[in-house]
Amino acid sequence: MPAALRVLSVLVLCAWAALAPQRLGAQAPAAAPEAESDQKLSRRAVIRFLTEGDYPPFNYLDEDNVLTGLNVDMARAVCLELAAACDIQVRPWSELIPALRRGEADALIASHAISQTMLKVVDVSDRYYHTPARFAGPRSASRLEITPEGLEGRKIAVAKGTAHEAYLRAFFSDSSIRAFETPELARDALITGAVDLLFDDGISLVFWLNGTASKGCCEFKGGPFGEPKYFGDGIGVVVGREDQQLKSLINAALKHIRTTGRYEELLLRYFPLRAF
């Protein structure tokens, strides 16, 4: 290995070891065996990413037909951290995992929800965002304590048959839970004042609160709820099960992106109203 590459490998390894990835709701992976470290974390000249093109603001084609979005910028940030060229291509959603397994890409960055079924055929990096649940309420409402005790007796709208309804019934059982057939009906109930609060997916609520459909009525109340049992294990970069080298490199890059503040910059670009 050329001296320059050897130095780069050691630096990447040191960053990875010293800055063990911090997951939201997941443990950091064990360090690579010492004897394999230099080979395991040797650099990649290029990383071939696949994503999907119609899931704004995460991955989509803008008005100039340019691929953009949080996932796309995150892929580019990872490549920059690893001094690798970035090749990002668009495929239909249904073709992403099959293409990865055929070796037509190195990684997927398309907001795949992590599941045990998926982990039987692919692997995933440390999570770089979750899809939390959030409460929303009228801007004019007095300050509320967003706890089971603080919301006792309060009328809360939620979409029927969702993880959000299940969570409310498990932990906010002393509230008056009003289940509606659709999220839109639950949101309408909040606008009209039929309920005190709405409990829903935090990411979709960002766009509703910032859009015209909410009529400027409401804002987030309290912080995010991210229990994996109800709201999933989060979103990471999907890689092949056999490519632990790339997984380790991506984990190191994601950690450094967080510590340098770059992660916050990317989030604020696409989510000026924080969902996470």
Sole residue written with tokens 């953009």: 68
Stretch 44-67: mean pLDDT:
95
Distances (CA, A) of 30 to 17, 228, 240, 244: 10, 21, 18, 12
Same fold, 3-130+233-270 and 133-231: yes
Sole residue written with tokens 């109203």: 273
pLDDT at 30 over 70: no
Q: Three-class SS of residue 246?
A: helix
Distance between CA atoms of residues 67 and 206, nearest Å: 22
Q: What CATH number has the domain spanning 133-231?
A: 3.40.190.10
pLDDT at 5 over 80: no
Query: 4: pLDDT confidence band, cut at 50, 70 and 90?
Result: very low
pLDDT value, residue 142: 82
pLDDT value, residue 28: 40
What are the residue ranges spanned by the domains of the chain? Answer: 3-130+233-270, 133-231
* CATH class of the domain at 3-130+233-270: alpha beta
Q: How many CB atoms lie within 10 A of CB 114?
A: 19
pLDDT value, residue 140: 86
Share of the chain above pLDDT 90, in %: 72
pLDDT at 25 over 50: no
49 closest CA partner among 116, 99, 4? 99
Query: 120: pLDDT confidence band, cut at 50, 70 and 90?
Result: very high
